[in-house]
Chain A
Amino acid sequence: MRVLKLRINGDERQVAAPEHWTLLEVLRYGLGLTGSKQGCDKGDCGACTVLSDGKPVLACLTLAALSEGREITTIEGLMPLHIQAGGTGADPVQAAFDRCGALQCGFCQPGMMLSARALLNRKACPTRAEIREALSGNLCRCTGYTQIFEAVESAVAEALGVTPAPRSWEAQRLPRPAGTAVERQEPR
């Protein structure tokens, strides 16, 4: 056992853990931060991705002891950090994933959103190809990635104050057949 001093989501935490524990084990079992998921435990799926000094790393392949002295951000940290920075509610990436339907089962998404967050922190307006590249270490089995790309682009558009391009399924949607109810937003 060893007492680790970790800085997680802005908090100084001390946790006793076996020397061989990974960062993922410390987060999930030591600190109860279960938002970081274990999909394979061998660095293939990306579900355990967290940010270490702003860079996405695989928590299941990172020895916890090596994270001492680094700033670790997990999915649980995004909203509080956003609020601390003067924002309200969820981080814009989280809100965009929610708004765009990118969260089906949601199991891969903590890692996915942190990869997206890291991308947007270093590049304000990435291309679709850059988004694909940045998220290529995070496997998703539900969405076919399309609504994830659209969510990242929606977050970008929001940050830049522009209207996002229509989502693929909207752009392809035909006017409804004659006689069908017209959908319009009612004042509440």
Chain B
Amino acid sequence: MAARDQHGVGAPWGDGPAGSRENREFQVVGKPLRKLDGLAKATGQLAYTDDLALPGMLHAKTLRSPHAHARIVSIDTSKARALPGVLGVITGRDLPIKYGVIPWTQDENALAVDKVRFIGDPVAAVAALDEDTANAALRLIEVEYELLYAFMDPRESLARGEPQIHEDKKSGNISKHVELSFGDVDAALQASEVVIEGDYVFHGTTHTPIEPHCALAQASADGLLTVWSSTQITHYVQRALAKVLELPVQKIRVIQPALGGAFGGKSDPFSLEFCVAKLALLTGRPVKMLYTREEVFYCHRGRHPMQLHYRTGASRDGKLQAVDAKILIDGGSYSSFGLVTTYYAGQLLTGPYHFPHYRFDSTRVFTNKPPCGPKRGHGSVQPRFAFEVQLDQLAERLALDPIELRRRNFQGEQTRTVNGQRITSNGFLGCLDEVERASGWRARRAKLGFGRGLGVAGSMYISGTNYPVYPNKMPQAGVQLAVERSGRVTVFTGGNDIGQGSNSMVAYLVAEELGLDVADVRVVAADTDLVPVDLGAYSSRVTFMVGNATIDAARKLRRQIVEAVAAEWQVDVARVRMAHGRVFDLADSARDVASAEAFQIAEARCDTLGSTGSYNTPTLGGDYRGGTIGASPAYSFTAHVVEVAVDVETGRIDCQRVWIAHDCGRALNPMLVAGQMEGSAYMGLAEALFEHHDVNRFGLHAGPSLLDYRIPTAVDTPELHALIVESLDPEGPYGAKEAGEGPLHPSLPALSNAVFDAVGVRLTELPFTPGKLLRALRERAARSGSVPAAAPAQSGGGRR
């Protein structure tokens, strides 16, 4: 049920009169409690996928294409098969059925059939007694390729269209094109007193979880297949395996062990899951495959490179009138989530600011590079970068304070966006207030002297996507509770804990609802044999959706227990309250029992105790094709202020401090929310300053290692200050919204805007390397006729 249907129009918590939301003291919610699995992780006890080993297990490796675009003429695996210790060799012929996470764009094969589309495309897989033998066997596989022209530039791929990367596509190398218009953009731009126009470039980055992808499969003699995988979406992996292996879904069990980071990079079904499953079926032995770090970089699905052109019109007082965007998206070689990316690139820009006219035209193009997909802040980080830099340019043109400009355009709460999305709670103004206060903005901005500066940016993000990737009317999240006589409750959830702490969140909510100690709640998660379906950890949906489903289940269970205890005591149910590990009679302080005893009373009076709960989204979205993409039951809001010091001699940008204010609805656990905010900001800043997922002109990765792909160390990371803003969403669990993706967005534009405050140049092309900054300084000097070295470095008052 939708939260609103389930709980009435009032918030889904509290026992007071309708509409009164803050009428209860919480035992668990809002407290910085430990995570359920914290100590198990700290002591090394918790097993990740690669920590699992089964008797007789084989090790598998993948042969990958050395060419960016080629037809496969022949594959000869005979020598590999003959190598002692090799037990299985498979190629595309063994797994010919295509898959893909979006049902309408399934264009991937576990192993290439006919052609390869990027350097690293999987071609064959070998299972052997050990990894060394498997690697030796890969070298014995002979593949004859017929080379095809490879596209590295999306503009060229779009313009030429031939050779086609996917030959069954109707229109050349276009993966997806979306054009949507709301209002009359041309007229509004014409009528605008100020129009800011500019080009922006997002370069492409990747997730880089520290745990490489890993999968382990076991086929039983009775026809059951079990796959342990480092996935963030068990349910979709199960469906994809069933399709490709042509097995009934109920014969396949997918388990996600502890997961070592994902960030969107483990949302697609990956080649290795199919390969280990097939090899396990063929050999009758367990098979494991662990990607090398290099393979993780090639399998990618990271943030799409985008070339963005924006025109923003405003009135002289800074009120936004119209936004016109044209975006070219480099999709790499496969569709992945690209259909959604192409929509998100436009659909998610329509908050937290109001503008009455909006148009976007985004085109995703295939190239012969590692395929892009969803990375934390899917599809919306790149447009947000461009737009928030434009807002800074607008503030500059109008001589307005950039925070004041953003306040002036705030869209408000309980409203609709220009593209028809419903906004409920909206704490964006609170976010602006917080970063302004904490950063000392008014006293410090534009007053730090040449070389130092502050920049601001804002953003909005979804708390779950309103429609699942395969259309169905069933709940998006289901939860089951079982009760043990000792007072312990076990929660069964399909939610994927990928390190964000979703299992703990579920336990906190059950403990709160049933008045239990969190330590008495166990969570069984992400095992398709044991738990009800949940759509997994993506689109920042877990807290909102699994949280609401958990509350639904817990309330049903509470009702059973309270009714049984009330009947036992022969009092009205309204007098019975569960709290602090006990069940109380509110009217008689002498009468109470421990939770365990109450459970036993209820079990004796009713039946074996248990309950189920679910959550589904209300009907939302704009009434047009694509209007449901970007629809979410709630949106989170963020503002950042970034402080930088720029060295004009070396071009080095030192990001020193970041204030991150994020409206997460309610912080169910503020410590974990702060961790998400800090981690998001860190990741965004790294994309702006250090990281570049790039290939050379042959399609070879520029540096597929953790040394060359420069994710920040403890020394590189700035001071991060998390400022939690709570708007109490009317439909979120206890008012909560997402916190894991939204807080990444403003990092990149706020950094660019801070550089402008510091040295007066606009950085519009990511990443902000020293070379780009020095070039921008030289160009500015050439325009103004002065020499950059003459700029009064580090002295006050002389900026610009």
B681 smallest CB distance to A (angstroms): 6
**Binary B-proximity of A148-188 (CB < 8 A = 1, otherwise 0):** 11000000000000000001111011101101111110101
Residue B211 is within 8 A (CB to CB) of chain A in the complex: yes
- What B residues does A176 contact at CB under 8 A? 726
Residue B198 is within 8 A (CB to CB) of chain A in the complex: no
- What A residues does B673 contact at CB under 8 A? 169
Stretch from B33-41, B137-145, B245-253 at the A interface: B33-41
A34 to B257, CA, bound (A): 14
B44 smallest CB distance to A (angstroms): 2
**Dominant SS at the A interface?**
loop
B35 and A76 contacting across the interface, CB-CB below 8 Å: no
Stretch from A51-59, A64-72, A102-110 at the B interface: A102-110
A132 to B27, CA, bound (A): 35
B211 and A37 contacting across the interface, CB-CB below 8 Å: yes
A101 and B671 contact, Cβ closer than 8 Å, known pairs A138-B714, A142-B499: yes
A23 to B208, CA, bound (A): 24
A105 and B34 contact, Cβ closer than 8 Å, known pairs A35-B44, A44-B707: no
**Binary B-proximity of A110-130 (CB < 8 A = 1, otherwise 0):** 100100000000000000000
Residue A26 is within 8 A (CB to CB) of chain B in the complex: no
- What A residues does B714 contact at CB under 8 A? 131-133, 135-136, 138, 140, 145, 148-149
Residue B302 is within 8 A (CB to CB) of chain A in the complex: no
A158 smallest CB distance to B (angstroms): 15
From A103, A136, A168, B721 is in contact (CB under 8 Å) with: A168
Interface size class, chain A: 35 or more
A143 to B500, CA, bound (A): 10
A101 and B672 contacting across the interface, CB-CB below 8 Å: yes
A47 to B210, CA, bound (A): 8
Scan residues 4-27 of chain A and give those whose CB is less than 8 A from a CB of chain B: none
**Dominant SS at the B interface?**
loop
Scan residues 486-516 of chain B and give those whose CB is less than 8 A from a CB of chain A: 498-501
B717 and A145 contacting across the interface, CB-CB below 8 Å: yes
Stretch from B47-55, B308-316, B334-342, B758-766 at the A interface: B47-55
A90 and B39 contact, Cβ closer than 8 Å, known pairs A188-B580, A188-B581: yes
A132 to B712, CA, bound (A): 12
From B34, B53, B499, B681, A106 is in contact (CB under 8 Å) with: B499
- What A residues does B24 contact at CB under 8 A? 181
A37 to B260, CA, bound (A): 10
B261 and A132 contacting across the interface, CB-CB below 8 Å: no
Q: Which residue among B207, B290, B715 has the maximum number of chain A CB atoms within 10 Å of its CB?
A: B715
Residue B196 is within 8 A (CB to CB) of chain A in the complex: no
Interface size class, chain B: 35 or more
A169 and B260 contacting across the interface, CB-CB below 8 Å: no
**Binary A-proximity of B712-745 (CB < 8 A = 1, otherwise 0):** 0111010111111010000000000000000000
B447 smallest CB distance to A (angstroms): 22
A141 and B263 contact, Cβ closer than 8 Å, known pairs A37-B211, A180-B22: yes
B706 and A40 contacting across the interface, CB-CB below 8 Å: yes
- What A residues does B706 contact at CB under 8 A? 39-40, 44-45, 139
A146 and B47 contacting across the interface, CB-CB below 8 Å: no
A172 and B43 contacting across the interface, CB-CB below 8 Å: no
**Binary A-proximity of B49-90 (CB < 8 A = 1, otherwise 0):** 011010000000000000000000000000000000000000
Q: Which residue among B292, B434, B673, B706 has the maximum number of chain A CB atoms within 10 Å of its CB?
A: B706
A129 to B293, CA, bound (A): 30
A109 to B261, CA, bound (A): 12
- What B residues does A49 contact at CB under 8 A? none
- What B residues does A90 contact at CB under 8 A? 39, 42-43
A97 to B261, CA, bound (A): 17
B715 and A136 contacting across the interface, CB-CB below 8 Å: yes
B293 and A40 contacting across the interface, CB-CB below 8 Å: yes
Scan residues 85-100 of chain A and give those whose CB is less than 8 A from a CB of chain B: 90, 94-95, 97-100
B780 smallest CB distance to A (angstroms): 32
From B290, B580, B679, A144 is in contact (CB under 8 Å) with: B679
A173 to B664, CA, bound (A): 14
B598 smallest CB distance to A (angstroms): 16
Q: Which residue among B46, B263, B675 has the maximum number of chain A CB atoms within 10 Å of its CB?
A: B675
- What B residues does A148 contact at CB under 8 A? 714
- What A residues does B30 contact at CB under 8 A? 181, 183
Contacts A39-B260, A90-B43, A105-B210 given; 15 further ones with Cβ under 8 A? A44-B707, A75-B44, A106-B41, A106-B260, A136-B715, A139-B706, A141-B207, A141-B208, A141-B679, A144-B680, A144-B720, A167-B671, A168-B719, A172-B724, A181-B24
8 contacts between A and B (CB under 8 A): A38-B50, A39-B212, A40-B705, A98-B35, A110-B44, A138-B714, A168-B720, A181-B24
